[in-house]
């Protein structure tokens, strides 16, 4: 399945990205809009943080009913930790979109990303909505992707075209994120749209499966946003016949391919990231064990600084694995970095370190840890912890 | 109880710190020894990492029997992930000390700290042991503290004197650590000695209680060493009468005071640390809830970079609290930084941020989070995440 790292037209959707003056940088795009012709199948995944931003509260309740006509996203303010005024603001924002589009306000989902604790200016927002509705067009997905950026250095989009249910269908998406959270970044947001005709339940299943190995298998700093949202919408404009089992599997695969491309772009553009590292853990007693180890390695500041320093640091990697709480036998471990075996049977292979170090100089490499205890496997994409990560996150003042 | 951040004589103990050539820097002290006249009461706490260094395996087994006569510690090599040769090396190292001291080898506990995956040179080690035994003296605790340093920038020692059981008694200790782990640091090691007469069981209880609010309530980078060891030894040389209940409580307090001073020194000298931050969580439903939140805040890279940048970043702190999985109500939260209330009833107090920022310019400040849900409390000492942390840990090559 060929995935392009670029936007595409998706029948049944129009997009816009405009500047509403919500970001401090004058003229920066900060209001994005996705609109369908009618209420259509929608599904969503939301942050499990106990502190949820107002738009997350509103969007999750609306998406739960399975239908949406529009999604409105602002950057510059997360509208989180803003109490009842924040909730009111999120509702008013949707109402403003509904008034301009002439649709039911409960079919509009809001998303916000930016500084936590501050409300945005509703007058500016409403003016922005007016301009966004005026700017809606079928080729606007890239403009939308730009409008939702915060510390991101580039817009993130992906698309797949394939034949399904007797028709050519398209799945396309856009995302933002950089750290997984910060008052400047404050979120991973992703939006996937398709013209395929599926029920809300089918869309929900597809989104969940697609996210497991993409959005839920990446980390930049291990921190969890108050605003994380992944939304999917299916317009049905492809007018395909009802999908059979095999076709549904292909649809899930297409959603997964777009989600994986977006997830990869998120880590690649992680705050200060100079490396994209695939952590793969095999031979664990269970998938859950493998995942715990992969996350512990992928979030360890010491492992991540070693990545930044191109240091094939066996000690830090196995110590992180051992700290995960998962049963393992150091005497069996096998570790490869950049394809080079640097530890085997509980011992460091000193002679191999130089070759591994060479591989780590590349932008992308893999860390493969085999526990040799069972058949549990897991994978995680992570970035390094660089001087720029600290600069980006220390030099900003609330 | 007055604790001095300096070493003291403790009757019944002699100490030494010498250079055995195990560190790459010529002449650097790297072999420390603590010796008693006879086997005496001993207690220990060890890393729960599933990857345990060979000396941890040997020391924990020996300490478990309640008696030790000597502890030998080397820096420069962690003797971890070294398989059976590493275990042999740890046993031979103890035997070398026993031969020189004329004691039973099973009464010697080994500790190692330094690079993971490498064995140290046993001939150099044995020569060092000879010189260390020759150098043993009652005032040698500071030399010992120097010999166990790795990336530490200063030796760490603490002591308390008080009357107990009819005698003047002393509790003193030394520690090393900087990150909680790295192939250069690879460990938090702490040693507490006292001349008080207590049973091994009493010493064990005291050490456990003393560590709960000291060594187990600090973090630099959240990483867990393969070599972490805390050892306590009581010589009984004070010849005090058996301690009654009140006196045992005072003894625990004295152990706690020395442990807390050492723990504080560890965080203060954390790798690249420019801030010492006390995280206090109150008003949780349970102590465990409070502790989970405190750890999540104290280990969050985004919170720690905000500390480095003197940024009273409410969003990052409450997002970390919310990501802990603990039930909380954002609408009740109250947050103080450096004593300044910057969030209350689920809202940011924008006007207070400047005052909080001023406080954060100091070397030490507190973050107090009150959940207002119950009476659970916890405290944690942490450091910031600075550019130097990344430099120290990235520029080193295995």
Give the tens place of pLDDT for each residue, A202-261: 999 999 999 988 888 887 777 777 888 889 999 999 999 999 999 999 999 999 999 999
- Residue B192 is predicted with a pLDDT of 95
Inform me whether the pLDDT recorded for B396 exceeds 90.
Answer: no
In whole angstroms, give the CA distance from residue A356 to residue A312: 6
Residues of B in contact with A346 (CB under 8 A): 81, 83
B348 and B262 in a common domain: no
Q: Which residues contact A252 (CB under 8 A, 6 or more apart)?
A: A205, A206, A209, A210
User: Cα–Cα distance between B196 and B169 in angstroms, integer?
Assistant: 6
A337 and A258 housed in the same domain: no
**Is B187 found in the same domain as B309?**
no
Whether B150 sits among the annotated catalytic residues: the reply is no
**pLDDT tens for each residue of B93-121:** 999 999 999 999 999 999 999 888 889 99
The secondary structure element, H or E, covering residue A191 is strand A189-194
Instruction: Kindly state the helix (H) or strand (E) to which residue A161 belongs, with its residue range.
Output: strand A156-164
User: Quick one: angle between helices B314-323 and B301-308, nearest 10?
Assistant: 160
What gap in Å lies between CA B43 and CA B194, rounded to an integer? 12
The B residues from 16 to 75 touching A (CB cutoff 8 Å) are: 49-52
pLDDT digits (tens, 9 = 90+) for B311-363: 999 988 998 999 898 999 989 999 999 999 999 998 899 999 999 999 999 99
User: Which among A80, A223, A387 is the nearest to B387, CB-wise?
Assistant: A387
What Rg, from alpha-carbon coordinates, does chain B have? 22
Strands of the sheet with B340-344, listed across from one edge: B218-219, B376-383, B276-284, B364-370, B334-337, B340-344, B347-348
CB atoms within 10 A of CB B348: 25
- Min Cα separation B333/chain A (Å): 10
Interface residue B225 vs chain A (CB under 8 A): yes
Q: What is the pLDDT of residue A25?
A: 87
Residue B13 buriedness (CB in 10 A; 0-12 / 13-18 / 19+) = buried
Q: Are residues A339 and A391 in the same domain?
A: yes
Residues of A in contact with B315 (CB under 8 A): 78, 80-81, 115-117, 182-183, 186, 226, 398
Average pLDDT rounded to a whole number, residues B198-202: 94
| Residue B87 reports pLDDT greater than 60 | yes
Q: Where does the pLDDT of residue A183 fall: very low under 50, low under 70, confident under 90, or very high at 90 and above?
A: very low
What is the mean predicted confidence (pLDDT) over A87-105?
A: 98
Which DSSP category does B47 fall into? -
Which has more confidence, A323 or A184? A323
In this predicted structure, the answer to whether residue A398 has a pLDDT above a threshold of 80 is: no
Query: Do B157 and B74 share a domain, yes or no?
Result: yes
CB contact under 8 A, B117 and A226: no
In a domain, B70, yes or no: yes
List all residues of chain B from 335 to 354 with a beta carbon under 8 Å from chain A. 343, 345-348, 350, 353
Q: Quick one: B287 and B258 in the same domain?
A: no
Is residue B283 domain-shared with residue B196, that is, in the same domain?
Answer: no
Percent of chain B with pLDDT strictly greater than 70: 97
Among B219, B246, B268, identify where a domain stops: B268
Q: Which residues of A are catalytic?
A: 187
Q: Identify the domain containing residue A215 by its residue range.
A: 13-268
User: Does residue B71 lie within any of the structural domains?
Assistant: yes
In a domain? residue A6:
no
Contact B201, B64 (CB under 8 A): no
User: What was the pLDDT predicted at A171?
Assistant: 96
Is residue A7, in this structure, part of any structural domain at all? no
Q: What is the mean pLDDT of residues B129-148?
A: 97
Is residue A133 within 8 A of residue A97, CB to CB? The reply is yes
Please tell me the distance from the alpha carbon of residue A29 to that of residue A307, in angstroms, as a whole number: 34
Return the CATH number at B283: 3.10.20.340
**Nearest CA distance, B252 vs chain A (angstrom):** 29
B271: which chain A residues are within 8 Å (Cβ-Cβ)? none
Instruction: Considering only residues A194 and B226, tell me which one the structure prediction assigns the higher pLDDT.
Output: A194
Question: Quick one: pLDDT band at residue A284, thresholds 50, 70, 90?
Answer: very high
pLDDT per residue over A163-178, tens digit each? 998 999 999 999 998 6
**pLDDT for residue B127 is more than 90:** yes
Q: Which of A81, A112, A392 to mutate: most B Cβ within 10 Å?
A: A81
- pLDDT of residue B187 exceeding 70, the answer is no
Determine, for residues A385 and B390 on separate chains, whether the beta-carbon distance falls below 8 Å.
Answer: yes
Please check whether residue B171 is in contact with residue B185, taking contact to mean a CB–CB distance below 8 angstroms.
Answer: no
Q: Is residue A61 part of a domain?
A: yes
Answer for the pair B389, B222: CB distance below 8 angstroms, yes or no. no
Of residues B226, B325, B391, nearest to A319 (C-beta):
B226
Q: A-contacting residues of B 241-270, CB under 8 Å? A: none
Whether residues A260 and A288 share a domain: the answer is no
Distance CA B65, CA B205 (A): 15
Interface residue A324 vs chain B (CB under 8 A): yes
Mean local confidence (pLDDT), A258-277: 90
Residue B370 inside a domain? The answer is yes
- By three-state DSSP, how is residue B51 classified? coil
Q: Is the pLDDT of residue B397 over 60?
A: no
Beta bridge partners of B67: B41
Distance CA A362, CA A360 (A): 5
Q: Are B51 and B126 in a shared domain?
A: yes
CB B185 within 8 A of CB B77: no
Count of structural domains, chain B: 2
Q: DSSP strand E in chain B: where? A: 13-18, 31-46, 67-77, 108-115, 156-164, 167-176, 189-194, 218-219, 229-234, 276-284, 334-337, 340-344, 347-348, 364-370, 376-383
The answer to whether the CB atoms of A186 and B348 lie below 8 A apart is no
Tokens of A32: 């994005």
DSSP track, A28-43: ---EEEEEEEEEEEEE
Beta-bridged to residue B347, according to DSSP, are: A82, B344
Q: What contacts A380, CB < 8 A, 6 or more positions away?
A: A217, A218, A219, A278, A279, A291, A294, A295, A297, A298
The CATH number linked to B21 is: 3.60.70.12
- Do B134 and B112 sit in the same domain of this protein? yes
Q: Domain ends where: B268, B292, B322?
A: B268
In this complex, do B179 and A302 lie within 8 Å of one another by their Cβ atoms?
Answer: yes
Edge-first strand order for the sheet with A334-337 is A218-219, A376-383, A276-284, A364-370, A334-337, A340-344, A347-348
Confidence band of A187 (pLDDT split at 50, 70, 90): low
Q: Contact at 8 Å (CB) between A241 and A363?
A: no
Q: Determine the pLDDT at residue B150.
A: 87
pLDDT of residue A24: 85
**pLDDT > 90? residue B177:** no
Among candidates A51, A321, A327 on the partner chain, residue whose Cβ is nearest the Cβ of B322: A51
Work out the burial of residue B119: count CB atoms within 10 Å of its CB; fewer than 13 is exposed, 13-18 middle, 19 or more buried. Answer: middle
3-state secondary structure of A209: helix
Is A301's CB within 8 Å of B222's CB?
yes
| Section A112-133 average pLDDT | 95
Which stretch of A178-192, B128-142, B345-359 has the lowest confidence by average pLDDT? A178-192
Residue B108 burial class via C-beta count within 10 angstroms: exposed 0-12, middle 13-18, buried 19 and up: buried
Phi, psi of B241 (to 5 degrees): -70, 165
Rg (C-alpha) for chain A, rounded Å, is 22
Mean pLDDT of chain B: 92
| Res B65: pLDDT | 95
Which residues does residue B33 pair with via DSSP β-bridges, in sequence order? B16, B72
Structural tokens at position B118: 């490498």
Closest chain A C-alpha to B115 CA, distance in angstroms: 8
| Domain end point (choices A209, A244, A268) | A268
Instruction: Work out the average pLDDT over B49-64.
Output: 93
The answer on pLDDT for B185 being more than 80 is no
Residue A396's pLDDT is: 64
Whether A210 and chain B come into contact, CB under 8 Å, resolves to: no
The answer on A294 and A390 residing in a single domain is yes
Q: Is the distance from CB of B218 to CB of B294 less than 8 angstroms?
A: no
Biggest CA–CA distance in chain A, Å, is 69
User: What ipTM describes this predicted complex?
Assistant: 0.84
d(CA B268, CA B277): 9
Same domain, A86 and A195: yes
Find chain B residues with C-beta within 8 A of A311's C-beta: 394, 396-398
Condensed to tens digits (0 to 9), the pLDDT of residues A36-73 reads: 999 999 999 998 888 899 999 999 999 999 999 999 99
Instruction: Answer whether residue B1 is part of any domain.
Output: no
Which segment of A367-376, B210-219, B267-276 scores lowest on mean pLDDT? Answer: B210-219
**Does residue A211 belong to any structural domain of this protein?**
yes
């Amino acid at each position: 399945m060929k995935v392009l790292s670029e936007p595409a037209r998706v029948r049944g959707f129009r997009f816009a990205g405009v500047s509403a003056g919500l970001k401090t940088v004058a003229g920066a795009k900060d209001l994005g809009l996705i609109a369908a012709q009618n209420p259509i199948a929608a599904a969503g995944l939301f942050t499990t943080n106990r502190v949820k931003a107002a738009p997350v509260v509103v969007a999750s309740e609306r998406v739960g009913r399975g239908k949406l006509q529009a999604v409105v996203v602002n950057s510059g303010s997360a509208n989180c930790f803003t109490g009842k005024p924040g909730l009111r603001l999120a509702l008013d924002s949707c109402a403003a979109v509904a008034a301009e589009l002439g649709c039911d306000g409960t079919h509009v989902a809001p998303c916000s990303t930016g500084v936590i604790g501050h409300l945005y200016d509703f007058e500016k927002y409403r003016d922005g909505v007016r301009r966004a509705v005026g700017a809606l067009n079928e080729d606007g997905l890239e403009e939308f992707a730009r409008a939702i950026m915060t510390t991101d250095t580039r817009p993130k989009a992906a698309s797949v075209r394939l034949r399904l249910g007797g028709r050519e269908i398209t799945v396309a998406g856009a995302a933002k994120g950089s750290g997984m959270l910060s008052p400047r970044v404050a979120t991973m947001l992703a939006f996937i749209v398709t013209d395929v005709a599926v029920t809300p339940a089918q869309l929900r299943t597809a989104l969940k499966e697609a996210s497991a190995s993409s959005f839920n298998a990446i980390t930049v700093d291990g921190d969890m946003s108050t605003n994380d949202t992944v939304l999917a919408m299916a317009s049905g404009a492809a007018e395909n016949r009802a999908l059979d089992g095999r076709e549904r599997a292909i649809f899930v695969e297409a959603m997964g391919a777009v989600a994986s491309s977006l997830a990869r772009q998120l880590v690649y553009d992680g705050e200060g990231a100079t490396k994209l590292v695939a952590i793969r853990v095999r031979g664990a007693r269970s998938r859950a064990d493998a995942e715990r180890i992969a996350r512990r390695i992928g979030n360890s500041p010491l492992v991540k600084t070693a990545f930044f320093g191109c240091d094939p640091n066996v000690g830090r990697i196995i110590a992180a694995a051992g700290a995960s709480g998962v049963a393992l036998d150091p005497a069996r471990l096998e570790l490869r970095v950049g394809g080079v075996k640097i530890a085997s049977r509980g011992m460091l292979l000193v002679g191999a370190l130089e070759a591994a170090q060479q591989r780590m100089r590349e932008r992308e490499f893999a860390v493969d840890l085999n526990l040799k205890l069972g058949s549990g496997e897991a994978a995680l994409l992570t970035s390094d912890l660089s001087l720029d990560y600290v600069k980006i996150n220390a030099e900003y003042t609330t």
